[in-house]
């Protein structure tokens, strides 16, 4: 079988590429190994509860992209305001922690604020520049000072990344870590404020159907979407792909949103050095437990960060706090996220820990309230920006590009991307094909 463009992967990146090609009347075939489209943006329904692959909230940085997506959102997506917090020293601080220290023990506030002032003075008068920090740990110290680093940035990030912070670069953060002004840190140290700092203070989310409404809507009525068929192997020189069904496809162009190491592993004749390099790309995985509980909404938080060691999870939240319709009347939904590297931890132990801690926090009264539990495993959820990552990724992307493959999406680019960036990359890949650039 011969196709003009083969799209491998039916998450947001692949679907957006297909949609853009379809709108330009250009032929394509999309293959997705799962039976449903959406990738990370799929949703599971259980006993009246709607669970995403952990909290998935849509926000836009680029008006042009929002305009492209708008027809697929219809009037189902409503704007919501997030309520995010950090739990430490027995109290909730509004997110971002660095701007909201009021309510913490006075010694902690003093340590955080004095450390922040010292770091700010060093930046101002000694020419210290966090943009040139050699690693993420130094960047935290230079940006936030010793107190905020010790009390939040270090323990939280060590828990999430499961990697010494001196091994991480600073190339992944950008908009993800808000950097406050001195006045904001001081104001937040003395009075509680509802801060809207950060890249995701409001977001779009539908009343019904969970985040999967978005990929389903992009996929609606698109021809040539083959679900439950994966890309098995790839011969770049002959432009042939073999699918898991055994069918061989000849293609002119390939747009792949497979994880970059997986794409490399499926490519016949990949230079040995590149294959070995791809094997060095690292990520942390997430084990996500969702609970549906009987009773009133227990907490107002969309999500809460947990830096302290006594909590094995790094984040927990409640989508029903901001979208009540994800739970049946008289019920609420909670989710907990555990990060891991290597072998998946024991789900039984994680569940027991989650319930015990949620009870201690007062999010549940007792385990009998739990009427639904849905566990979701997200392998390689967060790619690791270690010293090797940038050079390996750019060598692989360069090689694939030269051989007619556009590797796109969060895992195709092996980056810390959002739904928006996945869609944008899929659209851009399609536009290059339409313009005859590739």
- What does the binding site for ligand FAD look like in residue numbers (CB under 6 A)? 8-14, 31-34, 39-41, 54-58, 230-231, 257-258, 262, 286, 378, 381, 409-411, 417-420, 422
Q: How far is the CB of 413 from ligand FAD (least distance, A)?
A: 8
- Residue with Cβ nearer ligand FAD (350 or 422): 422
- Residue with Cβ nearer ligand FAD (5 or 101): 5
- Residue with Cβ nearer ligand FAD (96 or 328): 96
* 23 SS3 class: helix
The CB density around residue 226, as the number of other CB atoms within 10 Å, is 16
Q: How far is the CB of 160 from ligand FAD (least distance, A)?
A: 10
Q: How far is the CB of 416 from ligand FAD (least distance, A)?
A: 8
Q: How far is the CB of 422 from ligand FAD (least distance, A)?
A: 3
Phi, psi of 284 (to 5 degrees): -105, 145
CA dist 357 and 364 (Å) reads: 9
- Residue with Cβ nearer ligand FAD (41 or 430): 41
Q: How far is the CB of 172 from ligand FAD (least distance, A)?
A: 13
Phi-psi region at 403: left, alpha or beta (left = phi > 0; alpha = psi -120 to 50): alpha
- Residue with Cβ nearer ligand FAD (11 or 96): 11
Report DSSP state, residue 149: I
What DSSP element (H or E) covers 358?
A: helix 347-361
- Residue with Cβ nearer ligand FAD (143 or 217): 217
CA dist 150 and 168 (Å) reads: 17
Nearest to 170 by CA among 196, 201, 142: 142
- Residue with Cβ nearer ligand FAD (72 or 411): 411
Q: How far is the CB of 7 from ligand FAD (least distance, A)?
A: 9
How big is the CA angle at 273 (ends 267 and 274), to the nearest 5 degrees?
Answer: 45
CA atoms within a 13 Å half-sphere pointing along the CA-CB vector of 378: 23
Nearest to 211 by CA among 43, 429, 380: 43
Report DSSP state, residue 294: E
- Residue with Cβ nearer ligand FAD (177 or 422): 422
Q: How far is the CB of 235 from ligand FAD (least distance, A)?
A: 15
Helix axes 106-125, 182-190, angle to 10 degrees: 170
CA dist 81 and 201 (Å) reads: 6
The CB density around residue 344, as the number of other CB atoms within 10 Å, is 12
CA dist 251 and 241 (Å) reads: 8
Q: How far is the CB of 370 from ligand FAD (least distance, A)?
A: 22
How big is the CA angle at 284 (ends 282 and 287), to the nearest 5 degrees?
Answer: 150
- Residue with Cβ nearer ligand FAD (148 or 197): 197
Phi-psi region at 362: left, alpha or beta (left = phi > 0; alpha = psi -120 to 50): left
- Residue with Cβ nearer ligand FAD (9 or 180): 9
Cα dihedral 396, 413, 176, 327 sign: negative
Q: How far is the CB of 195 from ligand FAD (least distance, A)?
A: 19
Q: Starting from the edge strand earliest in sequence, which strands make up the sheet with 315-317, in order?
A: 91-94, 84-88, 303-305, 315-317, 331-340, 283-294, 370-383
Q: How far is the CB of 113 from ligand FAD (least distance, A)?
A: 31
- Residue with Cβ nearer ligand FAD (142 or 418): 418
* 46 SS3 class: strand
Nearest to 43 by CA among 56, 32, 60: 56
Q: How far is the CB of 65 from ligand FAD (least distance, A)?
A: 11
Q: How far is the CB of 356 from ligand FAD (least distance, A)?
A: 23
Nearest to 147 by CA among 184, 181, 185: 185
- Residue with Cβ nearer ligand FAD (33 or 110): 33
């Amino acid at each position: 079988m011969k196709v003009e463009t083969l799209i491998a992967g039916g998450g947001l990146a692949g679907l957006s590429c297909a949609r853009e090609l379809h709108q330009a009347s250009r032929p394509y075939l999309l293959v997705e190994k799962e039976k449903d489209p959406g990738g990370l943006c799929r949703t599971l329904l259980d006993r009246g509860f709607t669970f995403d692959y952990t909290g998935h909230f849509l926000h836009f940085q680029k008006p042009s992209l929002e305009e492209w997506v708008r027809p697929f959102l219809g009037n189902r997506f409503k704007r919501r305001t997030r309520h995010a917090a950090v739990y430490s020293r027995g109290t909730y601080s509004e997110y971002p922690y660095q701007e909201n220290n009021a309510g913490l023990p006075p010694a902690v506030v003093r340590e955080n604020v004095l450390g922040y002032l010292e770091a700010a003075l060093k930046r101002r008068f000694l020419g210290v520049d966090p943009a040139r920090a050699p690693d993420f740990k130094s960047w935290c110290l230079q940006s936030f000072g010793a107190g905020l680093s010790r009390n939040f940035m270090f323990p939280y990030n060590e828990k999430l990344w499961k990697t010494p912070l001196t091994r991480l670069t600073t190339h992944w953060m950008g908009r993800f870590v808000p950097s406050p002004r001195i006045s904001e840190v001081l104001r937040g140290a003395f009075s509680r404020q509802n801060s809207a700092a950060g890249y995701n203070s409001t977001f779009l989310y539908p009343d019904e159907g969970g985040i999967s409404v978005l990929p389903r809507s992009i996929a609606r009525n698109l021809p040539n979407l083959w679900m439950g068929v994966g890309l098995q192997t790839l011969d770049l020189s002959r432009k042939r792909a073999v699918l898991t069904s055994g069918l061989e496809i000849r293609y002119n162009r390939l747009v792949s949103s497979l994880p970059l190491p997986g794409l490399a592993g499926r490519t016949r004749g990949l230079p040995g050095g590149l294959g070995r390099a791809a094997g060095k790309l690292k990520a942390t995985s997430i084990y996500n437990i969702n609970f549906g509980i009987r009773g009133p909404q227990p907490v107002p938080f969309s999500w809460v960060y947990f830096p302290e060691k006594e909590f094995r999870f790094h984040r927990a939240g409640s989508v029903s706090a901001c979208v009540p319709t994800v739970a049946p009347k008289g019920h609420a939904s909670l989710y907990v996220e555990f990060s891991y590297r290597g072998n998946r931890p024991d789900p039984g132990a994680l569940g027991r820990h989650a319930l015990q801690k949620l009870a201690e926090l007062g999010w549940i009264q007792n385990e009998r309230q739990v009427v639904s539990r849905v566990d979701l495993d997200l392998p390689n959820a967060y790619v690791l920006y270690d010293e090797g990552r940038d050079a390996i990724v750019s060598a692989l992307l360069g090689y694939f590009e030269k051989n007619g493959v556009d590797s796109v999406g969060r895992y195709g680019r092996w980056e810390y991307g959002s739904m928006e960036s996945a869609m944008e990359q899929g659209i851009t890949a399609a536009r290059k094909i339409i313009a005859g650039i590739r």
